[in-house]
């Protein structure tokens, strides 16, 4: 287990607050913050149901918020100096996006063993071609998970206990934590 | 982008289909009555590598001998060693087994080196040495045949549109431009279009450089696929605005940690992916891009490929593979092979070299 600092904990609590807000909107509860020079510069939470767009994960919402604050000037947004704190391991799509932006590092809560792009399915380091730093991406970034993982899972569990009301019927109502862990992210849209 | 000719679309499998190759093994002959004990010991002490899990360890002899033939262990390729005793790849456990049971002289043989993917392969390869065939899960099965002539013509038509869009787009700041057309195959309707508009953000602009129309849309992640998915979502919201009824209260905290949810640890069966019609019946409109076909001038990157998974599309068709950035089999990587994903789409390429 990596040693997390008090600042890490503060930032992840902010990400968890974002995830809780998503839960209140009946979205899959995942939240994140982008941190620059140890200050939160953007926040995001999942809006896939609201936007009817399976790509509106928390990471994309935060990235867009930061860009909007810089008149969509990606260079001014300084992604390469930003650390992302996200409650659940970024999926393969988000990992690809973070890589394209050259994000400095990622700290996440729980792992994502079905969709994870930071090691669970694809890795952010080593296996070049298949990594998030991979095909189409500019570079890889270091990532570490496990910070407040239980809190992140608890939120997901609360969501999936009731089932995703916007998901089509074949996504049967999920009823257990183990299923919630497997289904979070990607099943959201 | 230069003008390109579109030939026949070919399906891109999640993994390249296996070819018939042989692996060397050492076999022995064993009396039928002694076989089950020996087989048990061999499986426990000298398991075959996972890559040979399809190989049946015992077979009838095909030369009139009524003893059974048993695979003892893998052998190094025939050129390097001619006898069991000289073969340095033979594990000690195999030698011990041979000695303990005073097995007759070992014979070199070959078995199919790869698991068969199709029934036809299984039938052909099984003749060499008995192997098992595991029928692939339906949602991962490869389409049985190449697209019909009509299907291929439809693919050419829309892929041509995507290419034309890419050529018209001026690149949106990208060195190599992509464009995407999302089509509802049931109606032939264009659902959305997308074009690269990353604005060349890695290249710092000179002050005072004129802004063009594309600049208003520029975004470092606005690849053509994401642009098209955004457009599809916007169109859906415009056509069928969300109801103003208030949301129900948020989900309550779950009960304690005990197992009164049921089902924990039970093997879960995957429900089949619903058809577009089922989805529409269920929620009164389409769900994301379920059932749609996505035509791309260029192969999507890993971010875009996964975005299409999240969007539940039916098929992705691209003209030009990208060895460096592609994530759908045009280069080294195929997202389709990730079996843990909750949705899979079929991928076709025209294999255009450009």
Annotate B226-263 with three-state secondary structure: HHHHHHHHHHHHHHCCCCCCCCCCCCCCCCCCCCCCCC
H or E segment to which residue B157 belongs: helix B149-169
Which regions of chain B does DSSP assign to beta strands (E)? 10-11, 22-30, 58-60, 68-74, 107-112, 179-184, 189-195, 293-298, 315-320, 346-349
Min mean pLDDT across A120-124, A184-188, B24-28, B264-268 is at B264-268
Q: What CATH number does the domain containing B346 carry?
A: 3.40.140.10
B254 inside domain? no
Boundaries of every domain in chain A: 6-187
Say if residue B13 is in the same domain as residue B46: no
B124 inside domain? no
Q: Is B68 helix (H, G, I), strand (E, B) or coil?
A: strand
Contact A136 B218 (CB under 8 A): no
Distance from C-alpha of B108 to C-alpha of B111, rounded to nearest angstrom: 10
B176 inside domain? yes
The answer to whether A94 and A60 have CB atoms below 8 angstroms apart is: yes
The domain boundary, picked from B62, B97, B113, lies at B113
Say if residue B164 is in the same domain as residue B290: yes
The full length of chain B comes to 354
The domain boundary, picked from B67, B94, B113, lies at B113
State the residue range of the domain holding B189. Answer: 1-17+141-203+213-240+284-354
Say if residue B226 is in the same domain as residue B322: yes
Q: Give the CATH superfamily of A6-187.
A: Cytidine Deaminase, domain 2 (3.40.140.10)
Say if residue B32 is in the same domain as residue B7: no
Q: How many domains does chain B have?
A: 2
B43 inside domain? yes
Residues of A in Cβ contact (< 8 Å) with B304: 93, 96, 136
Segment A27-36 shows an average pLDDT of 96
Structure tokens, A150: 């239980």
Q: Which residues, in sequence order, are CB contacts of B168 under 8 Å at separation 6+?
A: none
Q: Is B277 helix (H, G, I), strand (E, B) or coil?
A: helix
The answer to whether A48 and A54 have CB atoms below 8 angstroms apart is: yes
Say if residue B98 is in the same domain as residue B163: no
Say if residue B4 is in the same domain as residue B151: yes
Mind listing the pLDDT tens digit for each residue in B221-279? 999 999 999 999 999 999 888 876 556 665 555 444 333 333 333 333 344 445 556 55
B251 inside domain? no
Active site residue A59: yes
Question: How far is Cα of residue A38 from the mean position of the Cα atoms in its chain?
Answer: 19
Is ipTM over 0.90? no
Say if residue B179 is in the same domain as residue B303: yes
CA angle B167, B169, B171 (to 5 degrees): 90
Does the CB of A130 have a partner CB in chain B at under 8 Å? yes
The reported pLDDT for the residue numbered B244 is 66
B264 inside domain? no
Say if residue B2 is in the same domain as residue B46: no
Interface of A with B in 73-92 (CB under 8 A): 73-75, 79, 91-92
pTM of the entire predicted model: 0.73
Mind listing the pLDDT tens digit for each residue in A130-185? 333 333 344 678 999 999 999 999 999 998 876 666 655 544 444 444 343 444 44
Say if residue B76 is in the same domain as residue B173: no
Contact B332 A129 (CB under 8 A): yes
B98 inside domain? yes
Distance from C-alpha of A27 to C-alpha of A42, rounded to nearest angstrom: 19
């Amino acid at each position: 287990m990596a040693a997390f600092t008090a600042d890490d904990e503060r930032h992840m609590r902010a990400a968890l607050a974002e995830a809780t807000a998503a839960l209140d909107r009946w979205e899959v509860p995942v939240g994140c913050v982008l941190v620059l020079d140890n200050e939160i510069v953007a926040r995001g939470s999942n809006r896939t149901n609201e936007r009817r767009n399976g790509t509106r994960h928390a990471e994309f919402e935060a990235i867009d918020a930061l860009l909007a604050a810089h008149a969509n000037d990606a260079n001014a947004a300084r992604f390469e100096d930003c650390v992302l704190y996200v409650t659940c391991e970024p999926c393969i799509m988000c990992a690809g996006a973070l890589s394209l932006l050259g994000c400095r590092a990622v700290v996440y809560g729980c792992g994502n063993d079905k969709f994870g792009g930071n090691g669970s399915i694809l890795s952010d380091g080593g296996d070049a071609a298949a990594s998030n730093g991979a095909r189409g991406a500019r570079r890889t970034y270091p990532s570490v998970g496990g910070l407040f993982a239980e809190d992140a899972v608890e939120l997901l569990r609360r969501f999936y206990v009731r089932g995703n009301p916007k998901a089509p019927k074949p996504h049967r109502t999920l009823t257990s934590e183990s299923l919630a862990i497997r289904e979070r992210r990607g099943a959201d849209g | 982008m230069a003008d390109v000719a579109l030939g026949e679309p070919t399906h891109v499998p999640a993994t390249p289909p296996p070819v018939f190759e042989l692996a060397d093994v050492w076999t022995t002959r064993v009396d039928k009555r002694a076989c089950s004990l020996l087989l048990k010991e061999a499986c426990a002490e000298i398991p075959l590598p996972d890559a040979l899990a399809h190989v049946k360890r015992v077979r009838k002899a095909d030369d009139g001998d009524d003893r059974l033939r048993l695979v003892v262990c893998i052998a190094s390729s025939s050129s390097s060693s001619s006898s069991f005793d000289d073969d340095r790849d033979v594990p000690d456990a195999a030698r011990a087994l041979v000695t303990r049971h005073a097995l007759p002289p070992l014979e070199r043989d070959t078995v199919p080196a790869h698991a068969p993917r199709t029934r036809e392969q299984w039938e052909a390869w099984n003749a060499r040495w008995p192997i098992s065939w595991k029928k692939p899960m339906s949602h991962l099965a490869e389409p049985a045949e190449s697209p019909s002539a009509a299907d291929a013509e439809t693919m050419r038509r829309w892929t041509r549109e995507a290419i034309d869009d890419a050529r018209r787009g001026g690149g949106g700041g990208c060195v190599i431009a992509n464009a995407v057309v999302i089509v509802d195959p049931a109606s032939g309707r264009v659902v959305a279009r997308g074009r690269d508009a990353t604005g060349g953000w890695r290249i710092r602009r000179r002050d005072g450089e004129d802004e063009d129309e594309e600049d208003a849309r520029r975004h470092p992640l606005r690849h053509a696929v994401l642009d098209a998915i955004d457009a599809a979502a916007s169109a859906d919201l415009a056509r069928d605005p969300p109801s103003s009824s208030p949301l129900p209260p948020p989900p309550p905290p779950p009960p304690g940690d005990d197992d009164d949810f049921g089902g924990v640890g039970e093997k879960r069966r995957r429900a089949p992916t619903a058809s577009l019609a089922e989805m529409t019946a269920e929620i009164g409109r389409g769900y994301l891009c379920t059932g749609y076909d996505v035509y791309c001038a260029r192969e999507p990157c890993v971010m875009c490929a996964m975005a299409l998974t999240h969007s539940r599309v039916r098929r992705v068709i691209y003209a030009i593979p990208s060895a460096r950035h592609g994530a759908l089999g045009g280069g080294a990587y195929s997202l389709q092979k990730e079996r843990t994903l909750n949705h899979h789409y079929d991928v076709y390429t025209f294999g255009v070299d450009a």
